[in-house]
Amino acid sequence: MVDLRINCAGIKSPNPFWLASAPPTNSGYQICKAFEAGWGGAVWKTIGAPVMNVVNRYAAVDFNGQKIIGLNNIELISDRSIEINLKEIAETKRLWPDRAIVASLMVESDRKIWHDIVKRTIDAGADGIELNYGCPHGMSERGMGSAVGQVPEYCTMITEWVTEVSTIPVLVKLTPNVTDIRFPGRAAKKGKANGISLINTINTIIGVDLDTFQIEPSRGGKGGHGGYAGPAIKPIALNMVSEIARDPEINLPISAMGGISNWKDALEFILLGATSVQVCTAVMHYGFRIVEDMIDGTTNWMEEKGYTSLDQIRGKALTNIANFGDMNLLSKHVAHIDEQKCIHCNLCYIACEDTAHQCIDLHQKKGKKQPTVREPDCVGCRLCYIVCPVDHCITMVQKDNGAQSKTWNELVKELPQPLSIEDLRKFQHKHGIDVH
Amino acid sequence: MNNVAPKLTSKEYEANFAELKPALTDVAALAEANRCLYCYDSPCMTACPTHIDISTFIKKISTGNMKGSAKTILSSNWVALTCAKACPVDVLCEGACVYHGKGEKPIQIGKLQRHVMDWYVEKKMPQLFSPAEKNGKTVGIIGAGPAGLACAAELTLLGFDVTIYEASKLAGGLDTHGIAPYKMQQQDSLNEVKMIKRLGVKIKTGVRVGKDISFGKLEKTHDAIFIGVGLPMPAELQISGEEMNGVVNALDFVENVTKRKWKSVDVGRRVAVIGAGNTAIDAATEAKRLGAEEVFMVYRRGREQMSAYDFEFELAKRDGISFYFHAQPKKIIGKKKVQALECLETRIVNGKLKTIPRSEFKIPVDMVIKAVGQNIDETLLVSIPKLKIKDGMVVVNAKSYQTSNPKYFAGGDCINGGKEVVNAAFDGKRAAYGIHNFIFRKK
Ligand SMILES: Cc1cc2nc3c(=O)[nH]c(=O)nc-3n(C[C@H](O)[C@H](O)[C@H](O)COP(=O)(O)OP(=O)(O)OC[C@H]3O[C@@H](n4cnc5c(N)ncnc54)[C@H](O)[C@@H]3O)c2cc1C
Ligand SMILES: Cc1cc2nc3c(=O)[nH]c(=O)nc-3n(C[C@H](O)[C@H](O)[C@H](O)COP(=O)(O)O)c2cc1C
Ligand code: SF4
Ligand code: SF4
Ligand code: SF4
Q: How would you write chain A as a 3-class SS string?
A: CCECCEEECCEEECCCEEECCCHHHCCHHHHHHHHHHCCCEEEEEEEECCCCCCCCCEEEEEECCEEEEEEEECCCCCCCCHHHHHHHHHHHHHHCCCCEEEEEEECCCCHHHHHHHHHHHHHHCCCEEEEECCCCCCCHHHCCCHHHHCCHHHHHHHHHHHHCCCCCCEEEECCCCCCCCHHHHHHHHHCCCCEEEECCCEEECCEECCCCCCEECCECCECCCEEEECHHHHHHHHHHHHHHHHCCCCCCCEEEECCCCCHHHHHHHHHCCEEEEEECHHHHHHCHHHHHHHHHHHHHHHHHHCCCEHHHCCCCCHHHCCCHHHCECCCCEEEEECCCCCCCCCHHHHHHHHHCCCCEEEEEECCEEEEEECHHHCCCCCHHHHHCCCCCCEEEEECCCCCCCCEHHHHHHHCCCCCCHHHHHHHHHHCCCCCC
A69 lies within 8 A of chain B by CB: no
| Beta carbons of A297 and B65 less than 8 Å apart | yes
Whether residue A297 and residue B56 make contact (CB cut-off 8 A), yes or no, is no
Domain positions in chain A: 6-318, 324-430
Q: How confident is the model at residue A135 (pLDDT cuts 50, 70, 90)?
A: confident
Q: Rounded to a whole number, what is the distance in Å from the CA of A93 to chain B's nearest CA?
A: 28
Residue A401 pLDDT:
81
Structural contact between residues A134 and A199, judged by C-beta atoms closer than 8 angstroms: yes
Q: Whose CA is nearest to atom 2 of ligand 5?
A: B97
Instruction: Please check whether residue A422 touches B, CB under 8 A.
Output: no
Q: What angle, rounded to 10 degrees, do the helices at A263-271 and A234-246 form?
A: 30
Task: Convert the pLDDT of each residue in B41-90 to its tens digit.
Answer: 999 999 999 999 999 999 999 999 999 999 999 999 999 999 999 999 99
Rounded distance from Cα A172 to ligand 2 centre (Å): 14
Say whether residue A289 is in contact with chain B using an 8 A CB cutoff. Answer: yes
A26: phi then psi, degrees, rounded to nearest 5: -70, -25
**B93 Cβ below 6 A of ligand 5:** no
Counting ligands in written order, the one closest to the CA of B104 is 5
The residue count for chain B: 443
- Catalytic machinery residues of A: 135
Q: Can you tell me the mean pLDDT for B129-149?
A: 97
- What mean pLDDT is reported for chain A? 95
CA distance A424 to B11: 63
Query: Would you call B65 and A296 a contact, using CB atoms and an 8 Å cutoff?
Result: yes
What are the phi and psi torsion angles at B316 (to 5°)? -60, -45
In this predicted structure, the answer to whether residue A134 has a pLDDT above a threshold of 80 is yes
pLDDT in tens, A224-273: 899 999 999 999 999 999 999 999 999 999 999 999 999 999 999 999 99
Residue A390 has pLDDT above 80, yes or no: yes
Ligand showing the shortest atom-to-Cα distance for residue A255: 2
* pLDDT tens digits along B187-208: 999 999 999 999 999 999 999 9
Q: What is the pLDDT of residue A147?
A: 86
Instruction: Give the C-alpha separation, B89 to B335, whole Å.
Output: 45
Selected residue of A66, A286, A304, A340 to mutate for chain B interface (largest B Cβ count, 10 A): A286
Are domains B36-122 and B234-373 of this chain identical in fold?
no
A33 touching B (Cβ < 8 Å): no
Supply the pLDDT for residue A434. 82
Query: In the predicted model, what is the mean pLDDT of residues A181-205?
Result: 97
Q: Which of B41, B65, B67, B127 has the most A C-beta neighbours within 10 Å, making it the best mutation to test the interface with A? A: B65
The CA distance from A296 to A298, in Å, is 6
Say how far apart CA A275 and CA A348 lie, in whole Å. 40
**pLDDT for residue A367 is more than 90:** no
Of B35, B38, B68, which has the smallest distance from its Cβ to A296's Cβ? B68
Report the atom number in ligand 2 closest to the C-alpha of A233. 25
* Ranges of each domain in chain B: 36-122, 138-232+376-440, 234-373
> What average pLDDT does the segment B430-440 reach?
97
Q: How far away, in angstroms, is A244 Cα from ligand 5 center?
A: 40
| Residue of the CA atom closest to atom 2 of ligand 4 | A388
Name the pLDDT band for B333 (thresholds 50, 70, 90): very high
B55 lines ligand 5 (CB under 6 A): yes
Q: What is the four-CA torsion angle of A343, A348, A353, A358, rounded to 10 degrees? A: -100
Interface of B with A (CB under 8 A): 26-27, 34-35, 38, 40, 56, 59-60, 62-65, 67-68, 71
Q: B257 in ligand 5 pocket by Cβ < 6 Å?
A: no
Mean local confidence (pLDDT), A274-299: 98
pLDDT at B443 over 70: no
| Mean pLDDT score, A347-353 | 96
How far does the CA of residue B193 sit from the closest CA of chain A (Å)? Answer: 25
Across the interface, whether the CB atoms of A293 and B67 are under 8 A apart is answered: no
- Index of the ligand 1 atom closest to the CA of residue B419: 19
A391 and B26 within 8 Å at the Cβ level: the answer is yes
Query: Which of B35, B37, B102, B116 has most ligand 5 atoms within 8 Å of CB, for mutation?
Result: B37
Distance CA B178, CA A133 (A): 67
CATH class of A324-430: alpha beta
Closest residue of chain A to B59, computed from CA coordinates:
A293
Considering only A219-228, A293-302, B221-230, which range has the smallest mean pLDDT?
A: A219-228
pLDDT computed for residue A366 by the predictor: 86
Report percent pLDDT > 90 for chain B: 96
**Mean of pLDDT values over A112-132:** 97
Q: Which of B237, B239, B274 is nearest to B253 (CA)?
A: B274
Q: Which atom of ligand 2 is nearest to the CA of A199?
A: 19
The reply to whether A296 touches chain B by the CB within 8 Å rule is yes
Section B359-382 average pLDDT: 95
* Residue A209 clears pLDDT 90, i.e. is over it: yes
Is any atom of ligand 2 closer than 6 Å to the C-beta of A145?
no
Q: What is the mean pLDDT of chain B?
A: 96
Question: What own/partner pairs with CB < 8 Å and gap ≥ 24 does A218-225 have?
Answer: A218/A56, A219/A54, A219/A55, A219/A56, A224/A74, A224/A137, A225/A136, A225/A137
Whether ligand 1 lies within 6 angstroms of the CB of B106 is answered as: no
Look up the pTM and report it. 0.91
Our CA dihedral for A211, A214, A220, A224, rounded to 10 degrees, sits at 160
Interface mutation target, options A261, A284, A292, A390, chain B, most CBs of B under 10 Å? A292
Residue A297 contacts B where some CB pair is shorter than 8 Å? yes
Model confidence at B441: pLDDT above 90 = no
Nearest to A288 by CA among B50, B38, B76, B112: B38
Instruction: Check CB contact of A263 with chain B, cutoff 8 Å.
Output: yes
- In CATH, what is the architecture of B138-232+376-440? 3-Layer(bba) Sandwich (3.50)
Question: A71-85, A399-413, B359-373 — which is least confidently predicted?
Answer: A399-413
Which pLDDT belongs to residue A283?
98
**Interval A90-104: pLDDT, tens:** 999 999 999 999 999
A263 vs B63: CB contact, 8 Å cut-off?
yes
The backbone torsions φ and ψ at residue A52, rounded to the nearest 5 degrees and listed phi first, read -135, 130
Q: What is the DSSP letter of B185?
A: -
Whether A138 has a pLDDT exceeding 90, the answer reads no
d(CA B394, CA B415): 5
- Choose the weakest-confidence range: A308-317, B67-76, B187-196, B230-239: B230-239
Q: What is the mean pLDDT of residues A334-359?
A: 95
* pLDDT reported for residue A41: 98
A365 vs A386: CA distance, rounded Å:
24
DSSP assignment letter at B305: G
B234-373 CATH: 3.50.50.60
Q: Residue B305 CB: number of other CB atoms within 10 A?
A: 13
Residue A436's pLDDT band, with cuts at 50, 70 and 90, is confident
What's the average model confidence in pLDDT over B423-428?
Answer: 98
What value of ipTM does the predicted structure carry? 0.85
Domain A6-318 belongs to what topology? TIM Barrel (3.20.20)
CATH numeric code, B36-122: 1.10.1060.10
